[in-house]
Structure 1
Amino acid sequence: MRIDAIIEDARVRTLDPARPTASRIGIWAGRIVGLDEELDGARADVVLDAGGATVLPGFNDAHAHSVWFGQTLAEVDLAAERTPDGVYDRIREASGRSADGEWIIASGFNPLGLDGRVDRDALDRASDGRPVWIKHASGHAATLSGAALRRIGVDDGPREDPLGGVIVRDERGRPTGLLEENAMRLVQDVLLPDPLVRIEEALGLATAQYAREGLTSVTDAGIAGGWIGHSPREFAAYQRAHERGLLRTRMQAMVTLDALVDLDGHDDDPRAVGLTAGIRSGVGDDRLQLGPVKVFTDGSLLGSTAAMSEDYEHDHGNHGYLLGDPDEMRRRVLRAAAGGWALALHAIGDAAVEYALDVIDEAQAAHGRAAMPSRIEHGGVVRPEQLERMAALGVSLVPQPRFIDEFGDGMAAKLGAERTGRSYPAASVLRAGAVLAGSSDRPVAPGEPLRVIQSFVERRTETGAQYGPDERLSVTEAIRACTVGAAEATGWAGRKGVLARGALADLVVLGDDPHAVATDRIGAIDVVATYVGGDPTHGGLDAR
């Protein structure tokens, strides 16, 4: 038998319990056709020498925001700024490169790590009167200059807050420039939708970076609507980027619930909602696929807007809130389920997790399980009985361990010791028998998968403090979360996340074995090469 390629002299960790290790991998037509002795007698068009390097299944980020991330690569980066003056300096530099009246857009801003508070009037001075839009790293708030507030129709007079959002005001009633949750739509109503070509270029930038990090599959957790979407035709931009060869990774996209519309049908059909997001024929292969519908049930732990069953620590009377009328949101989610959609419910606080599980339970009872698993996105605080319920319902949990590295001290202060122990769980998810999927929520937090694995293992905050140490994973468990677990959560169990006969030939070649280095060095391991369907997307191995 003649095949496309054989990789030899590799230290393969397959993550397949039936054959945990191998030294040779055979590839034909984008899939793995055999390992080791299964290749005896086969001839290959090319033989690749791994030189004893470690080979793993390609990494899968089950929750990221690829368009948003790609755009941040071209925006003012505030991630390293720790003082208001540092923020003003970066805005002043950008102003010197901007035309009069042009919007200055900045990303990566973390107010929890800031020594002080950014002032709207100081932003006006730094920008020389240009409108400034600062996107918070959490994705659940934005800070605007005074000029930007006026551009979106927010003046210093009274104005009602939008449902599920807050225009934050000072003690005199004057807007501070901070917009929470759905109030951010006021900015987007002015600046969006983005042109399709801009979205395509952002996807090209994002997926090129993904490939350099060993990622072979990524799920975009919300497109085409809400405050997270960039255009009602956003999926069309994905298709165009795929056709132009810009996508370096396999992509799955979740459409937001508010992008779905009521569907007509026979009187005997259930009332359902469906999609008008620019989709056309060609959707649904192993390179580009429509995922679950994305639903935001609550807000952000960083912004103290996630819905908790108890008040935040030292914030009496505030336990967050749901981002809409609970009954109306439930009705819409059930109609999405009636239309055959899997459900991906953003739920950070334990009260939101309870609400999400109730809705998923009701949806499955009425309409059965969808073609791919339903999911809880984030799980900032999860109670033990909720994990058991997830396992029983077949619901995957998709947490982001890098939040601990980046924001852990601030999150712990908001939660207190007892809830911190149940925050962004991992080990207890596996003990309960539920599916744990590795993810980053990039660009909310950095997303290099090897660093995600390290974070699962170490669970230490930015100052080195332990954060729920009982939830630490072994190195093998952490790798499985970012491969096998992510594949299961995205509906690709057995076809992604393992190196076994019949699986997609998606793999990453590493400069060292994560099991063989100190845990604090896992994130620094070199990604030698990344292959998608047997084709190199980053680096490459030498041919013999």
Structure 2
Amino acid sequence: MLIQRATLLDGRRVDLRVGASIVAMAERLSPERGEEVFDAAGGAVVPGLHDHHVHLRSTAAAQTSARVGPPWTNDPESFAVALRTATPDVDGWIRAVGYHESVAGDIDRRALDAIESRRPTRVQHRSGALWIVNSPGLAALGMPDHPDGRLFRVDTDPGHTLPPVEHRLTRLGATLSGWGVTGVTDATPGQSQADIDALAAAHHSGELPQRPHSLAALGVTAVPGVTIGPVKIILDDETLDLDDLTDRAARCHRADRGIAVHCVTESQLAVTVAALEAAGHDPRDRIEHGALIHDDYLDVLAELGVTVVTQPNFVAERGDAYLRDIPVRDHPMLWRVASLLDRGVRLALSTDMPFGDGDPWAAMRAAVHRGTVGGEILGPAERISAERALALFCGSAQRPDLARRVEVGQPGDLCVLTAAPAQALAELASDMVALTVVGGSATYPFDVTSTDAR
């Protein structure tokens, strides 16, 4: 593929020949026979974006599920309407996502029965850690006598398997391509070899054109089309066990795998840091989320060499609730970005979709502005430049903190925008994506021969 008249972020106008890698870059390149040609018309060209923490199957399912949390649903009445009008999955279940207690309190099976007593119904909390199931649903699961229908971490507990529904990734892959995303890291815990094989099949078929990387379980190996990263480990404050985490970290390191630890509270971060200090750290180790990081940990994280993969989009999406519900002393410690970079901590950005908005450009804007829906600024000292925000979505799967560049020899994964660099950086908007290329092939739009970006 030949991309003509693209503008690098440093202002140079270039033509690019792209295959599996960028094979040529010059002021002017002539089309070769059979080569697709795209006229960027001066638009900016950047490395294809990589979202470093997503949940692919959950996102695909969420795209066809009822949304029952803020901002879509905000009170008991609208919650009830959303469930009663929801379209069942192919297996007859009603699936709803994004619930938060601010809508209708701590609901249980009886609360759901009062709304929907005929069809099996499952409602996922926006944290992803809790499912609430009504009585018909519990009966279908073989748990008719469950006391309240509140199932915690069921997606990773083989004793409480929710009914499987095959959600194709085609729609999700197209959405990601439209945002300029060329790679994703699936952070779903407990992914098996079968899960990885299915992901590879989805990639090879074109269902998921992005390059998939997985934080799969220990013992799972890479297959053509899917790379494997650290082992995802979930922590909950009620069951924190330093010795167990230290042992798990050591076993993963001995197996030549890092660990990627879910840390959203101060306690979880403290135990993770202690475990890595005891077990010895691996340069592939990651902290997922880092929602709350106190000053005392900044230098420690830098010394450990771990990569923090965080989601500043939650500042924009949930910032007003944080300002209302979290102690004022902790506000500057939430979803930190600038202070981590300034102290030398390895850092990458992600969206955590579907639990966060999957648009990476919105996450970049949140990192730059730190604005809430209500117009407040949460953690102004954590703001970064647009250039830095973009670079934090341009890392590779194996080195999320190290931004790729548009130069010969780099992977042929690119994103071309309709706007020149200055405007693109000022707006950071996904609707400026004109072309997405993975391995030299366009994934958005699909037919680009002699296309003009404007």
Partner in structure 2 of residue 479 of structure 1: 390
- Aligned partner of residue 185 in structure 2, secondary structure: strand
* 1:188–1:68 CA distance, 2 compared to 1 (3 A): farther
Q: Report matched runs for 1:168-183 at 5 Å.
A: 175=148, 177-179=149-151, 181-182=152-153
Letter in 2 for 1:210: L
Q: Which has the higher contact order (CA 8 A, sep 6+)?
A: 2
Using the TM superposition, give the Cα deviation of residue 475 of structure 1 relative to its aligned residue in structure 2, in angstroms. Answer: 0.8
Partner Cα separation in structure 2 for residue 514 and residue 439 of structure 1: 22
Matched, 1:77 2:77: no
Contact 1:450 1:525 in 2 (8 A): no
> In 1, Cα distance between the equivalents of 2:30 and 2:228?
40
1:130-279 alignment, distance < 5 Å: 130-152=119-141, 175=148, 177-179=149-151, 181-182=152-153, 189-192=160-163, 194=164, 198=166, 201=168, 203-223=169-189, 225=190, 233-256=194-217, 260=218, 274-275=219-220
Q: CA deviation at 1:406?
A: 1.5
Which residue matches 2:227?
A: 289
Q: 1:297 to 1:74 in 2, by over 3 A?
A: same
> SS at 1:94's partner residue?
coil
Distance 2:393 2:245 in 1: 31
For residue 491 of structure 1, the aligned residue among 399, 406, 423 is 399
CA contact (8 A) 1:387 1:429 kept: yes
Q: For the structure 1 residues 374 and 125, does the alpha-carbon distance in structure 2 shift closer, same or farther, using more than 3 Å as the test?
A: same
- The residue type equivalent to 1:529 in the other structure is L
User: 1:119 offset after TM fit, Å?
Assistant: 5.9
For 1:374, the equivalent position in structure 2 comes to 285
Q: Distance in 1 between matches of 2:161 and 2:36?
A: 53
Residue 16 of structure 2 aligns with which residue?
Answer: 26
Aligned to 2:309: 398
Q: Equivalent of 1:449, from 335, 346, 360?
A: 360
1:8 and 2:4 correspond: yes
For normalisation by structure 1, the TM-score amounts to 0.74
Find the aligned partners of 1:535 and 1:518 in 2 and give their Cα distance.
Answer: 25
For structure 2, the 5+ residue unaligned runs are none
Q: CA RMSD in A?
A: 3.0
Contact 1:220 1:252 in 2 (8 A): yes
Q: Structure 1, residues 364-411: CA drift from partner, whole Å, max 9, x if none?
A: 36xxx36xx211000011122322222222211111111111112223
Bigger shift: 58-67 or 48-57? 48-57
Q: Kindly, what percent of the aligned residue pairs are identical?
A: 27
Partner of 1:356: 272
- Deviation of 1:357 after TM superposition, in Å, equals 2.0
Unaligned regions of 5+ residues in structure 1, if any? 14-19, 158-173, 261-273, 299-320
Q: What does the per-residue CA deviation read over 1:52-108, in whole Å, with 9 as the maximum and x for residues that have no partner?
A: 11221111100000111011112223341112222221221237x689x94221123
CA-CA distance at 1:535 after TM superposition: 0.9
Structure 1 pair 40/83, CA: closer, same or farther in 2 (3 Å)?
Answer: closer
Cα distance in 2 for residues equivalent to 1:293 and 1:464: 38
- Give, in angstroms, the shift of residue 43 of structure 1: 5.7
Find the aligned partners of 1:237 and 1:139 in 2 and give their Cα distance. 22
Deviations 1:482-533, CA, capped at 9 Å, x for gaps: 11xx32x733777x731112100211122235742796x4336422111111
**Inter-CA distance 334–242: structure 2 relative to 1 (3 Å threshold):** same
The residue type equivalent to 2:77 in the other structure is D
Q: Cα–Cα, structure 1 residues 293 and 407, in superposed 2: closer, same or farther, change >3 Å?
A: same
Say if 1:453 and 1:43 are closer, same or farther in 2 by CA, change over 3 A.
same
Aligned to 1:500: 407
- Alpha-carbon distance in structure 1 between the residues aligned to 2:5 and 2:172: 32
Query: Given residue 93 of structure 1, which amino acid in structure 2 is its aligned partner?
Result: T
Match of 2:439?
533
Quickly say closer, same or farther: Cα 1:208–1:493, change in 2 above 3 A: same
Could you tell me how far 1:472 is from its partner in structure 2?
0.7
Equivalent pairs counted in the alignment come to 447
Shift of 1:42: 9.1
